A and B are shown apart, each in its own frame.
Chain A
Amino acid sequence: MDIEKTQQFLIQTETAAQEILITKDELVALDFRRQKTREAFRALKNDMIPGEKAWMSVGNMFVKTRTLKAQNLLEREMKELDKDISDLHNKLKEQVKMLRDLEGKPELKGFDLQPITKEADIIMKALSK
């Protein structure tokens, strides 16, 4: 029946849209962590004397470690966060593509292109002069 079909369609599109919203929230949360980690790293670098020990909160615990060790830990965390955010971006693109597919909208032009920022920059600069 048509009603069944419409219901199916609505369920599918709503689920897809919800997934996109979840991914976006995840991105915001990860960026928040990234910024806080960066602030912590900066604080360690600027204010602490190397050789001294510093307090660091790891989840629910407070740990006293040497500043160098703490810095390395934070750096590694930032790298991981960058990678996670990158992966989430790709996931978001897939999900958006799927939603548009479901909704029957035409494909976004240039969605799947690999970026060529250096050359594109040169071309656009030359053209807009």
Chain B
Amino acid sequence: MAAIPSVKVAEVREFSRIERIGTHSHIRGLGLDDALEPREVSQGMVGQLTARRASGVVLEMIREGKIAGRAVLIAGQPGTGKTAIAMGMAQALGDNTPFTSMAGSEIYSLEMSKTEALTQAFRKSIGVRIKEETEIIEGEVVEVQIDRPATGTGAKVGKLTLKTTDMETVYDLGNKMIESLIKEKAQAGDVITIDKATGKISKLGRSFTRARDYDATGPQTRFVQCPEGELQKRKEVTHTVTLHEIDVINSRTQGFLALFSGDTGEIKSEVRDQINSKVAEWREEGKAEIVPGVLFIDEVHMLDMECFSFLNRALEDDMAPVLIMATNRGITKIRGTKYRSPHGIPIDLLDRMVIIATQPYEEKEMKQILKIRCEEEDAEMQEDALLVLTRLSMETSLRYAIQLITVANLIARKRKAMEVGTQIVIEVLVLFISYSFLHFP
């Protein structure tokens, strides 16, 4: 019943995602209800109730945005859903919050030092929200009238009649505007937008009322409704950019090219300080909002002592994202030293972290996960075959069973069978051996 606020238009940066079925592509969220209680099977997540409830709390913390620089560790045996929980959190946060995902070993690169790689990862996880405001004239063209001067030289003059459902008016056109109109090939019946500040004309499409004007229209023709309301509207667009993107744009003249080639190199700390003070200034004046996001580091035991000391310091910055780490190691040597500690992380960093533990799955949970993966990979599995796979995942590992689904499905399809039967699963078992079957003398 309420009016739709027409003051703001949310703009989404569009780019097409190539859909591939990955290991975690079936995860759509954490599967929590409104009270942050986890449902048994929901949004692709199965079981792991304690860990999911804990992650839900962390998620709320992130959404509030007021708490920055917290560290969370998800630890558990291999194949217990650590990365899945992180993926669920990423999906649940949505597009508005920056979520950067990386593996621990990505830090090591010849092109930049470890601290630079970490700093960039941190800056990629902090968003800055800015707004631009423009006055635009949007309407359906009723008539375009251009008068060429009789003498051949001299400026053209013209009139443009635009209308909306509520009003109609005539605009006097100058030379430049006439050229733009001719370039855009704007005719009567087209719905156009003119940016008042830049004078740029864009065609939105053709009006529905003029659809019957011609018997045939080209394939590119879009039909839109005649605009409603005022002719001259105010348009506000909000953008969220990350601090890293602003760093790159400012650090070189061809900065935008570097964003895609990945060759950002080392960005000077003076540039970063400048950006920080500029963003702080905007914040003071109410021109920008900081959107702290999430940095997810998987396999965090791959980081060495230097990285950990850097993390200690970086977490205390007032513009730090929430750091989520995952590891499946128990008590291991900290890389770069000969000391052992839980998860290969120094005790002082562990102290600053909130730890979420994941437990190995039970049989019925594994069966449910396998069922979800079968659906995701479009594999029709017989009940017996599913039971065999479940037994297999209990004996060996969940991942092994999931991989067998793909292979078994392929073989079944090649044999023109509608479903994957126990026979096929056993065949595939022999073809692809699990590491736990291998016995070395």
What's the Cα separation between A111 and B133 when bound, in Å? 12
**Is residue B239 within 8 Å, beta carbon to beta carbon, of the partner chain?**
yes
The reply to whether A28 and B2 contact each other, CB–CB distance below 8 Å, is no
**Is residue B249 within 8 Å, beta carbon to beta carbon, of the partner chain?**
yes
Our pick among A31, A36, A111, A124 for the contact of B232 (Cβ within 8 Å) is A31
The reply to whether A115 and B133 contact each other, CB–CB distance below 8 Å, is yes
**Is residue B147 within 8 Å, beta carbon to beta carbon, of the partner chain?**
no
Residues in chain A within 8 A of chain B (CB atoms): 13-14, 16-17, 20-21, 24, 27-28, 31-32, 34-36, 38-39, 42, 46, 89, 92-93, 96, 99-100, 103, 108-117, 119-124, 126-129
Q: Which residues of A contact B132 (CB under 8 A)?
A: 115-117, 120-121, 124
Q: Which residues of B contact A13 (CB under 8 A)?
A: 1-2
- Distance in Å: Cβ of A43 to nearest Cβ of chain B: 9
**Is residue B7 within 8 Å, beta carbon to beta carbon, of the partner chain?**
yes
The reply to whether A89 and B167 contact each other, CB–CB distance below 8 Å, is no
**Is residue B149 within 8 Å, beta carbon to beta carbon, of the partner chain?**
no
What's the Cα separation between A39 and B168 when bound, in Å? 11
- Distance in Å: Cβ of B101 to nearest Cβ of chain A: 20
- Distance in Å: Cβ of B151 to nearest Cβ of chain A: 19
What's the Cα separation between A103 and B129 when bound, in Å? 25
A-B CB contact pairs (8 Å), 15 listed: A14-B1, A20-B2, A21-B3, A28-B230, A34-B232, A35-B169, A35-B232, A39-B169, A109-B238, A110-B238, A113-B131, A114-B287, A120-B131, A123-B246, A127-B241
Given A21-B3, A28-B229, A46-B172, does the pair A110, B131 have CB atoms closer than 8 Å? yes
- Distance in Å: Cβ of A71 to nearest Cβ of chain B: 15
The reply to whether B3 and A24 contact each other, CB–CB distance below 8 Å, is yes
Given A115-B132, A127-B249, does the pair A39, B3 have CB atoms closer than 8 Å? no
Taking chain B's interface residues, is the majority helix, strand, or loop, or is none over half, making it mixed?
mixed
- Distance in Å: Cβ of A98 to nearest Cβ of chain B: 11
Given A112-B286, A114-B286, does the pair A123, B167 have CB atoms closer than 8 Å? no
**Is residue B134 within 8 Å, beta carbon to beta carbon, of the partner chain?**
yes
Our pick among A16, A35, A46, A127 for the contact of B245 (Cβ within 8 Å) is A127
The residue of chain A having its C-beta at the shortest distance from the C-beta of B278 within the complex is: A119
Q: Which residues of B contact A42 (CB under 8 A)?
A: 172
What's the Cα separation between A60 and B172 when bound, in Å? 27
Choose among A13, A20, A89, A109 the residue with the greatest number of B CB atoms under 10 Å from its CB. A109
Q: Which of B166-210 contact A (CB under 8 A)?
A: 166-167, 169-170, 172, 197
Q: Which residues of B contact A108 (CB under 8 A)?
A: 5, 8
